[in-house]
Chains A and B, each alone.
Chain A
Amino acid sequence: MTVAPQDLKPRALVSGASFNRGDRVFNRVITLAAFTALFVLAGITVFLGYQFIPVVQEQGLFFFTGSAWDPAAGRYGIWAMVYGSILLSVIALIVAVPASLLLSIFMVFLAPRRVSAVLTNLVDLMAAIPSIILGLWGFWVFQQVAADWSELLNRYFGWIPLFQNSSGNFTGTPFIAGLVLAVMMIPITTSVTREVMARTPPELINAAESLGCSLYSMLRHVALPFGRGGLIGGVMLGLGRALGETVAVFFVIKLVFDVNLFRILESEGGSVASMIVAKFGEANEQELQVLLAAGFVLFVGTLIVNLIANAIVGRTGRLSS
């Protein structure tokens, strides 16, 4: 029997189904595991959101734009902390991104193979240092050193508002907290950027070399554009850690509920995460709810950062002429 061409219908194709029973069970387990992650995420969102809504109803816009922690009056505003998180992250980025890039360029393109292997392991080890250790190191060791640097900066560049200091106390500053965050970011960012650089296709490097190109120009026009998506991903991964870092910042910053716009050598600052850990211990019921609401803000903030990162990574296909 023949069927006229116009009567042909596409057959239903059963995709993904397996005749092997073990395979089917395995598929289900994996699907379930994947959805578990989603459920956990949704659960956290709902839980935090549930705490967040009454706080916003109570505090109004002040919760976002104000800077106060006054349990007696029941007034809470976390703007100083939100802004502090941003400021610390920016300082950390300014230090960590160039350091990570240079380190990975050295490891991939310049260092002898053995040196590079040792460095790679060291950097990975650095990533494994618990943040509480870094916090203690920051507090006991690094803070004194960095305070001396700060004093020098202030002495010679104090005429720039950025480096002003009114108290003469150089510890507990956003500068120091930002540097500690940078130390935490560098291993994570470096291990990603190194991987990305190492994947520059050898034939493209060959092409660049045969066109009489210097290392700098090869990096600028071949390796960096090729790995741009991955490089941004690495930076964002590091930034995610910096934004959410709690203990290390808590140890080295003086929490003050007043917006410190840019005077990074002033002994006042904060971040959402370190505020939560600082206030959590002796919080009353209302304070606890406010802290959870602040947690929600942090959560949404990191989510937005990740979305932006995804968007940037997704656009990497863009051409440069």
Chain B
Amino acid sequence: MENLISIFLNSVFVGNILLAYFLGMCSFIAVSKNIDTAMGLGFAVVFVLTITTPLNWMIYYFFLAPGALSWVGLPDLDLSFLKFIMFIAVIAAIVQAIEMVIDRFSAGLYSALGVFLPLISVNCAILGASLFMVEREYTFIESVVYGFGSGVGWMLAIVAMAALRIKLRYADIPKGLEDYGIAMIVTGLMAMAFMLFSGISF
């Protein structure tokens, strides 16, 4: 249990997938101009990450990992090189499926998340979390917690950024640094602040 809490807190704060590993920057810069949309995209990312990370865990350990196919009598087979293509296919399929399910059952949720879902299949954070999950050899439960934690961390970062950018509208920024340039510098400062969490031990 303690282990799970530490994975969760680590993925939200210290090892924040956006601020420490730079994943999901493209949509982070593009969508952080408004708090509401940032919130919507953040929720969509949490949702998709919590589903795809454990799903990819199952696919990896039941089909792709070295020796994983011993249950069909092929103990020497190592298909781990296929993980990139499998993961991205799973993510694209799941995003599409989630979109259809939400559309069918919850009109309110669909109007809130619908537009963001297609954006998500090419969000680096989603694929990145799956690849980190393999690299760090998490167990199934850990991968659920890690997926959820990364999503929450990403959402926290983008919502904070959107709030900062609204304040920045009234700031007098040098020409050329406006918009994208200042967004990067603010992100840098925010990443610095998040690094302070690494002093906390659980």
A and B interact physically: no
Residues of B within 8 A of A (CB): none
Interface of A toward B, CB cutoff 8 Å: none
